[in-house]
Structure 1
Amino acid sequence: MSTSSPPAHPPQKDHGRAGRNLPAAVASAVVLLSLIAGTLYFWKTAFVVVVAVAVVVGVWELRRGFLAKEIDLPEQPLWLGGVVMVFVAYFWGAPALVTATAVTALVVMLWLLRRGVEGYVRNATASVFVLVYLPFLASFVGLLLSEGGTTGFERWDDGVRGIVVFILVTVASDTGGYAAGVLFGKHPMAPVISPKKSWEGFAGSLLACVAAGWFLVTALLDGPWWVGVAVGLSTVVMATLGDLVESVIKRDLGIKDMSQVIPGHGGLMDRLDSLLATVAPTWLLLHYLVF
């Protein structure tokens, strides 16, 4: 009888300093950006549908994550309210978004009454946090897109151009930070929260964002160069904070990724963290200084 020990588990595949499967991540990014570009180009309202679907998937991921701490989010009112918030922001603007957010928060709290007293404050507090963190911030995409009107068939109006600026400047932040961090990263920015995030990566994000903001705002929106610089600076700060907040949430919940719905990236919320954090200040700057 053999006394040899059972074979050890196969080692995890090393994806390098980036900590991800780069080919899968690039392929997923191409698919997502193609979906965004296609819906924006052919029919703006279809892009709003994409945002609403992202909100639904994000709520599902957050509920799964929160269950690790025995926090049970009420999916149905958050799904319905989140979708309504995205659409009213696009069709009727900021006042309608504020109203829809308040009504959804009240409905969520009333919905939770059916479960009784135990855990009510914990679940209600987490639900309102998720409501603001995901559907409310995502609804600023609808506000930005509506700058060109809501007929949905003008392919290159101000709203579409604003969305392109917002997405590409945020992508520049992630790409610049990723490249500089992998190549030069030596000094951790927040080792307890996100060990892979470095000050060198932040510098790369800063340079990429300012350059992208300056170029895109002047070229696509015919706006002042200093507004483009302001958009770049705002984006690099908010994108970094958004990434750190998402890292804190996952560490507190004890999970690595929100899910595995996007190959090479993890969960949808793992990709939305920077976008959610940057869209509101980008809309504010463009709405009052450019449009």
Structure 2
Amino acid sequence: MTANINQLLEISMDEAVLDMATPNPPGEDIQETPEQQKVLCEEDLVGKSASITYNDHLHRLAMYLQLPMQMCNYSNRVTGATCPGKSPFQVTLKPRGTGVALEWFCPFGHRLWKWNSQPLLKFGMQGGDFMLSTNILLSGNNYRKIALLFQFMKMGMVAQSTFFKIQDTYCVDPIEKFWERNRADVLTRLRQKDRVVVLGDGRMDSPGHCAQYCTYTTLEQDSRDIVHIVTVDKRETDRNSVIMEKECFIRTMDVLLQEIPVKEVVTDAHPQITALLNPERGKYKAWGLQHSLDIWHAAKNLGKKL
């Protein structure tokens, strides 16, 4: 079958099919929304500056933002039908821990984009939640006090369960390793001295005779470096809170006397510890230790007697 060439339609250049790709005209490149920033290494989170941002101002800023798409990109997986939703899109703000999440929806309820005010770690944990939890512990603060401060400020706060989970999973072991490494360096330096003077004192978790824990801290006189820390539970002393500090002191001295040349011990006027350091009848009389009272406790004890 032949065709009349004169009757064929003329194909314009716009309809021609070329064997090379024609680039898109300037300004017509398809743009996509950027992905959420993720924490891949320590430098992506530690040392980064942060600010207090009010949710109303953040939501107002998001309302002025224009997404790179003008139509909803949702399509039905079964029928292949596309969503006819057009801009402007609705913006919602959802508080999440110490941060917020902004979401853009089309008029038919399809989510187009989600943006978080904080970088995300593995398993979706927010960077600010992680940094706040770790720094509460490292700075010696109390979770409930910080949570109360955030409540007064009407700011989002890390949940208490999340705080303790982060503490147990990420903080306890590294802190213990750092402490052991730092203590080993201090003991190595103190072993070179002929005479080491240590200062010790205990601290209960609550006043009175109802304390559950006692922490005894020992420092070196010249450098003020902490050389030993021990914590005793009341259950380890037959639930007798009165002898917890004595038990802490015994555990401390049993360790330090084997590690550094302790010649003098400075404590408060605790009668049980004074008895342990008695040069004639005390537990440590064979070591020839000199027992001294620090000037504040000595003055306080003298004032009581007067």
Provide the TM-score with structure 2 as the length reference.
Answer: 0.22
TM-score normalised by the chain length of structure 1: 0.23
Task: Return the structure number with greater relative CO, CA threshold 8 A, min gap 6.
Answer: 1
Q: Which has the larger radius of gyration?
A: 2
Bigger strand fraction = 2
